[in-house]
């Protein structure tokens, strides 16, 4: 597998520093990815596609061991209700395979990105590189800026 794709080319074009990490290409959870990378599971963030009642989906980027809290997310966004699509629906909405969904791969596609406030504990986090088997290590402030993310408390213990 190549460690070069649209995400890495985009980051390179914007002169954003990152480190690409190759992992097995099967669908891994964030906790499994953390074990392979030898880092705390809380530092690997996963992207959860969520649906509003009306409008574009929202990408909730949360620590690997946690789950998205739809009530907190709805309150943070000023929405009445948020819901989770099926894995297949999420793949159809994003055009990406589950396990490879990344806000970095969906820039300029109209998705709003909310990163869980737990991100503030880290200088760098690891996030999907837009395909299975590619993880991107990136500075939090660079990620927030590049994907135009908001930071809020949107997850809870699993």
What is the CATH number for 151? 3.90.960.10
CB 145 within 8 Å of CB 103: no
Q: Is residue 1 part of a domain?
A: no
Q: What is the pLDDT of residue 2?
A: 61
Q: How far apart are CA 20 and CA 126, in angstroms?
A: 9
Q: Is residue 43 part of a domain?
A: yes
Q: What is the domain range of residue 127? A: 6-157
Q: Is residue 24 part of a domain?
A: yes
pLDDT tens-place string over residues 66-117: 999 999 999 999 999 999 999 999 999 999 999 899 999 999 999 999 999 9
Say what the pTM is.
Answer: 0.95
Q: Is residue 106 part of a domain?
A: yes
How many independent structural domains does the chain possess? 1
Q: Is residue 89 part of a domain?
A: yes
Q: For residues 142 and 4, which has the higher predicted lDDT (pLDDT)?
A: 142
Q: Is residue 151 part of a domain?
A: yes
- R_g (Cα) of the chain, nearest Å: 14
Exposed/middle/buried for 120, CB within 10 Å: 0-12, 13-18, 19+?
exposed
| Token representation of residue 122 | 């880290």
Q: Is residue 124 part of a domain?
A: yes
């Amino acid at each position: 597998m190549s460690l070069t794709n649209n995400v890495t080319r985009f980051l390179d074009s914007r002169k954003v520093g990152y480190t690409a990490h190759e992992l097995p290409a099967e669908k891994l959870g964030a906790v499994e990815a953390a074990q392979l990378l030898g880092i705390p599971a809380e530092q690997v963030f996963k992207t959860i596609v969520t649906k509003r009642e009306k409008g574009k989906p929202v990408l909730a980027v949360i620590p690997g061991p946690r789950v998205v809290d739809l009530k907190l997310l709805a309150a943070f966004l000023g929405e009445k209700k948020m819901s989770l699509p099926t894995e297949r629906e999420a793949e159809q909405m994003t055009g990406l395979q589950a396990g490879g969904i990344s806000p970095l791969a969906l820039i300029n596609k109209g998705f709003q990105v909310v990163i869980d406030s737990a991100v503030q504990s880290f200088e760098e986090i690891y996030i999907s590189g837009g395909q299975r088997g590619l993880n991107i290590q990136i500075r939090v402030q660079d990620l927030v800026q590049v994907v135009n993310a908001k930071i809020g408390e949107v997850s809870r213990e699993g």
